[in-house]
Amino acid sequence: MEDPSEIIQKLQLAGKSRTEQEEYYQSMKVPVVGEVLKKFLEDLSTENLRSDKGSVVDDVKDLLLHADPLWLLNNYRQSETVNLVQIYVDLTVALTQYSALPQCETDIGELPDSAYSAIPGNAHSVAEMFQILVSKLSVRPMQVMSSSAGVSPDSVLKAILPHLVIFCATHCQEMPWTNAASRLAADQLLAASVQASGCKTLVELLCGSQEEGCGALGAVLHLMKPQMNKNTWKLNPATKHVFRWLLQRVRRPWLAEHLDTVLPPSLLFSDDYRTENKILGVRCLQHVIDNVPAAELLQYNRAQVVYHALFNHLYTPEAFLIQAVLSCLLDLLPIIEKPHVTRGQQRANRYDKVFCLILTHMEVEDKIPLRRVYAKHLPVFIERLGILVVRHLKRLQRVILGYLEVYDGPEETARLCVLQAFQSMIQQAWPRMSMRLEVLLKSLLRFIYDVATDQSPTPPRVREELLHDATQCLILLNRCCERKVTVLLEGVRQNCENATVLECLQKVQQDV
Q: Which domain holds residue 85?
A: 1-198
Whole-model pTM: value is 0.88
CB atoms inside a 10 Å sphere around CB 315: 9
Write the CB contacts of 208 (distance below 8 Å, at least 6 apart in sequence).
214, 215, 254
Number of structural domains the chain divides into: 1
Q: Is residue 27 part of a domain?
A: yes
Q: Is residue 117 part of a domain?
A: yes
- pLDDT tens across the length of the chain (512 residues): 445 555 555 555 444 555 555 555 555 455 677 778 888 888 777 654 445 666 788 888 888 888 878 778 876 554 444 588 899 999 999 999 988 888 887 777 778 888 888 899 999 999 999 999 999 888 765 444 444 556 888 889 999 999 999 999 999 999 999 999 999 999 999 999 999 988 889 999 999 876 566 789 999 999 999 999 998 899 999 999 999 999 999 998 899 999 999 999 999 999 999 999 999 999 999 999 999 999 999 999 999 999 999 999 999 999 999 999 999 999 999 999 876 544 455 688 899 999 999 999 999 999 999 999 999 999 999 999 999 999 999 999 999 999 999 998 889 999 999 999 999 999 999 999 999 999 999 999 999 999 998 877 889 899 999 999 999 999 999 999 888 888 888 878 777 888 888 888 888 888 75
> Where are the extended beta strands (E) located within 239-281?
none
Q: Is residue 448 part of a domain?
A: no
CATH number at residue 51: 1.25.10
Q: Is residue 104 part of a domain?
A: yes
Q: Is residue 281 part of a domain?
A: no
Q: Is residue 207 part of a domain?
A: no
Write the CB contacts of 49 (distance below 8 Å, at least 6 apart in sequence).
none
Cis peptide before 153 (omega within 30 of 0): no
Read off the pLDDT of residues 156-186 as tens digits, 9 standing for 90 and up.
999 999 999 999 999 999 999 999 999 999 9
Rounded to whole angstroms, the Cα distance separating 62 from 203 reads 32
Residue 216 burial by CB count (10 A; 0-12/13-18/19+): exposed, middle or buried? buried
Q: Is residue 118 part of a domain?
A: yes
Q: Is residue 295 part of a domain?
A: no
Backbone angles phi, psi at 49, to 5 degrees: -70, 160
